[in-house]
A and B are shown apart, each in its own frame.
Chain A
């Protein structure tokens, strides 16, 4: 069980949490190392693909199209999954989803479950609910196991324990697996996890998973992973309960040809995940003979109803935006107070909370655009951030007429700018000019901005912001491409 689950309702606001995170130099070093490695791998395998931009465009269109016909595709998935022997359940919110899953685990006759890493179950704090019902959940993904045994919290959506280094992991395993002699090579640690979990895989009769994709056309479910713990949880138990946000559906089997290229390269810099599993309902003699899927809304339909925000639902949870984000790289994931950290967390979490919590998150960004550049389904995160900032400002100022009109108007203008690439570039150039009066040079001649007007000041309360680079990321990237270096 995690220590205190990350919950935007109770977490300190980002600027405060970030202040603490910035003081943890070991954590920041670990995060920087991990994100550097993934980014370098990602850049290499993306550069191999001559059709990467065409794949991104196809990915974006597939996701957009799915959202436009979401009711049809969900019903089609339900029909086909049911026909294949699965049982489909629906949950309006986290509480209903927890109740359904708990009831299904009880009905399976087990008081233990093996779990595959799933952000959706983290989002609804499923482990706490199961524990309260007397059911123990074992996390089986190596990183999730590290977090569970270390009573810690995830800090990245793909590599949740990237903030821990091997000495820290070894110390947790020594203590919790009772292995005082454990070595400290990554191989020693992986072997210890294999031993610890194998007995559970072979014994426990109920599995709980999330899903990467639900295939409407066939009723199939797809999970991508690397360790094989996913295959263990999907294949060996008698009962499997899969919980997925309603946004996880894809129209047809063929659409996987796009998503299975975009996801692994973006997420971990692999050409393909070591393991992908696709299964459809129940197959006599192969895998669990009782299979449930819980389709959960939990504010996703509110996001769908928001014209500007709905592209958030296109996300395939690759984490590339996190790795690319200078703010995430400085603060690590936990400062976001939510299981979804980094740029995707900054737009998804406040919307999942109907904008009642996590209002500081849309401000936790330098709007440099790096997240948009790497997003495999072209989600314009800066555009959504600006839109949400405007919402926060409007929400907080309802009734205080006039006082905050300036910020609200500024945010609306920013939202317009982010809609167009040309305008976005122009604004970046303008930004470098506009900030000039705020820059103070430090001893090394590097410019720092320690105060920004109005709402933009949230970020600079915590740390000094380095002045905008003379060249934008885009300009640099394009020049770099041309020079061939």
Chain B
């Protein structure tokens, strides 16, 4: 095992020097932070960076795009979240849900089993009916929800292994465009981050869209107004 790592390291050290040398020869000199930074500031960015729609239309767009991706969406007033969660779980026939630490307790209806993840194994996670989480931001134009490893959203494995995902999105966190979402994520870019647009899907067989190959096969989204 030790020798294997040594092999990798020995090759790498001389390769690094050589590759960097080849690049500077190809580019007619080496680059540095100041040169790269100054040039980067001047790149053309004439694409849309800001929302043009009214907030209400942004929500409509998100809902439309999520539906297009086979997600089920419900809009809910803040006080009614737990009731709607209960309704959705009942409709789907889900009883035993895993939740990340830090999820708002008032979102959890009685009559279901909610188990907080404390570093469960993948096999343990596989035993649940589904997972319920909050979210960081949602992008209307693309029908995308973004999760990060923060309280209420948790580890990546938790939203990956169970077959069903119920995701809560706050209307205040919905943006229209991709650039707005990236702007909001920038300060937290180093957190483990997952974007999802609908449930898992493939079109590898005759270009027919099939839902749910490996991730959750069903996605419900509750939009909290």
* A contacts, CB < 8 Å to B: 30, 33-34, 37-38, 50-51, 54-55, 57-58, 61-62, 65, 67-76, 84, 88-92, 96, 99-100, 103-104, 106-107, 109, 140-143, 146, 159, 161-162, 165-166, 169, 186-187, 189-190, 193-194, 197-198, 201-202, 215, 217-220, 226-229, 231-232, 234-236, 246, 251-254, 256-258, 260-261, 264, 268, 270-281, 283, 285-287, 292, 295, 297, 301-302, 304-305, 310
Task: Provide the residues of chain A in CB contact with B197, threshold 8 Å.
Answer: 270-275
Contact B213 A272 (CB under 8 A): no
Contacts A33-B207, A70-B27, A251-B40; A218 near B190 (Cβ below 8 A): yes
Q: CB within 8 A of B24: which of A71, A215, A292?
A: A71
Shortest Cβ distance from residue A329 to the other chain B in the assembled complex, whole angstroms? 14
Contact A232 B149 (CB under 8 A): no
Contact segment of B7-15, B80-88, B103-111: B7-15
Task: Provide the residues of chain B in CB contact with A104, threshold 8 Å.
Answer: 4-5, 8
Instruction: Determine the distance from Cα of A186 to Cα of B13 in the docked complex, in whole angstroms.
Output: 48
Shortest Cβ distance from residue B33 to the other chain A in the assembled complex, whole angstroms? 7
Number of A-B contacts defined by CB within 8 Å: 295
Contact B204 A257 (CB under 8 A): no
Shortest Cβ distance from residue B185 to the other chain A in the assembled complex, whole angstroms? 8
Residue of B nearest to A37 (CB): B207
Contact A58 B7 (CB under 8 A): no
Task: Provide the residues of chain A in CB contact with B192, threshold 8 Å.
Answer: 278-280, 283, 286-287
* B contacts, CB < 8 Å to A: 1, 4-5, 7-9, 11-13, 15-16, 18-20, 22-27, 30-33, 35-36, 39-40, 43-49, 65, 69, 119, 122-123, 126, 139, 141-144, 149, 155-157, 160-161, 178-179, 181-183, 185-186, 189-208, 210, 212-216
Task: Provide the residues of chain B in CB contact with A38, threshold 8 Å.
Answer: 207
Instruction: Determine the distance from Cα of A467 to Cα of B214 in the docked complex, in whole angstroms.
Output: 47
Task: Provide the residues of chain A in CB contact with B47, threshold 8 Å.
Answer: 51, 54-55, 58, 258, 261
Contact A72 B44 (CB under 8 A): no
Task: Provide the residues of chain B in CB contact with A275, threshold 8 Å.
Answer: 194-197, 200, 215
Q: CB within 8 A of A274: which of B33, B39, B149, B201?
A: B201
Contact A257 B179 (CB under 8 A): yes
Shortest Cβ distance from residue A164 to the other chain B in the assembled complex, whole angstroms? 8
Contact B7 A99 (CB under 8 A): yes
Contact B7 A301 (CB under 8 A): no
Task: Provide the residues of chain A in CB contact with B33, threshold 8 Å.
Answer: 72, 76
Contacts A187-B210, A279-B192; A58 near B45 (Cβ below 8 A): yes
List 25 contacting pairs A-B, 8 Å CB cutoff, sorted by A. A55-B47, A65-B43, A74-B19, A88-B12, A89-B11, A90-B11, A91-B15, A100-B11, A104-B8, A142-B204, A186-B206, A217-B189, A218-B189, A226-B200, A252-B40, A253-B182, A253-B189, A258-B47, A260-B178, A264-B142, A272-B143, A274-B196, A275-B215, A286-B155, A297-B15
Shortest Cβ distance from residue A135 to the other chain B in the assembled complex, whole angstroms? 12
Contact A202 B126 (CB under 8 A): yes
Task: Provide the residues of chain A in CB contact with B215, threshold 8 Å.
Answer: 227-228, 231-232, 274-275
Contact B206 A33 (CB under 8 A): yes
Residue of B nearest to A72 (CB): B31
Instruction: Determine the distance from Cα of A33 to Cα of B196 in the docked complex, in whole angstroms.
Output: 28
Shortest Cβ distance from residue A14 to the other chain B in the assembled complex, whole angstroms? 26
Shortest Cβ distance from residue A241 to the other chain B in the assembled complex, whole angstroms? 10
Contact A51 B48 (CB under 8 A): yes
Q: CB within 8 A of A89: which of B12, B123, B181, B186?
A: B12
Task: Provide the residues of chain A in CB contact with B214, threshold 8 Å.
Answer: 140, 194, 197-198, 201, 227-229, 231-232
Task: Provide the residues of chain B in CB contact with A295, threshold 8 Å.
Answer: 19
